[in-house]
Structure 1
Amino acid sequence: MQPGGQFDMQQLLAQAQQMQQAVMAAQAEIAAAEVRGQAGNGLVTATIKATGEVVDLTIDPKVVDPEDVEGLQDLVIGAINDAMANAQQLAADRLGPLAGGGGLGGALPGLPGF
């Protein structure tokens, strides 16, 4: 605040720009990240980009049973879902501090609604 209780608009804009840059950097980091999920105690693993693109799927030959295709399908779905949950957790971990618990993290003290 400037003397007389006025907001320093330049400071406010600088803080907003810093926050925007931090969010953009975190989003780029998340988009480039790959996360792994697994099912069946690691018998099936899926690696996905945090954007949701599946980049690798590994199936242990022990679970390949022509008599139980449904079981294998369930393991593949479970591994992919686990990887997606891990990607969401990664995003929450990276962006959470920047979100400040849903607000602007005290970046705009004294403004109503922040």
Structure 2
Amino acid sequence: MTEDADIVGLQAYADELRETFMRMQREATDLNARAQAIQVTEKSADGLVSATVSVRGELIRLDLDPRLYRRPDARGLADAITDTIRRATAKALNELVELFEPVVPPERLRAHLEGDLETVLDQLSGPVPRERRRR
């Protein structure tokens, strides 16, 4: 690829990034409100534990079916609660990624949300994707 072609490709990529940023600014208020409203409820495998979490994984509500008291198993109950909350949090994260997919590549957002600094830095320092250079 010649130097002129590289410059044209980089300019096209910069233009695309600028347009994406402008679109994100226009849609930011609505997206933020929709993101903050995400709540996910998940039930345990036996249906005796129900957990509702926010998009940040904060526990909003925990319901325990009274039938749990028929068979006292503190460790089993703790594991069921933890697993149910973990699955609800994962679903909330997936909903957030899907919500922002039109403006942020899913793998990039997921890496940021999961605190995967190595992947984030790789994405930032990597080459300009080919499909973006062809414009």
Give the TM-score taking structure 2 as reference length: 0.58
Runs of 5+ unmatched residues, structure 1 = 104-111
> Does the CA contact (< 8 Å) of 1:23 and 1:98 recur in 2?
no
One-letter code of the match for 1:97? P
Listed as ranges, the gaps of 5+ residues in structure 2 are 1-7, 109-126
Q: How far does residue 28 in structure 1 lie from its aligned partner after superposition?
A: 3.0
Correspondent of 1:31 among 23, 28, 36: 36
Identity of aligned residues (%): 28
> What is the CA RMSD across the aligned residues, in angstroms?
3.1
| Number of positions where the alignment pairs a residue of Structure 1 with one of Structure 2 | 101
- Aligned AA for 2:49? V
Residue 19 of structure 1 is matched in structure 2 by 24
Contact 1:23 1:95 in 2 (8 A): no
Distance 1:70 1:83 in 2: 20
Q: Distance in 2 between matches of 1:19 and 1:35?
A: 25
Name the CA shift for 1:75/1:27 in 2 (closer, same or farther; >3 Å).
same
CA gap 1:102/1:70 in 2 versus in 1, 3 angstroms:
closer
| Greater fraction of residues in helix | 2
Q: Indicate the SS of the match to 1:99.
A: coil
1:108 maps to which residue? none
Q: Deviations over 1:59-84 (max 9, x none)?
A: 11112356311111111111101110
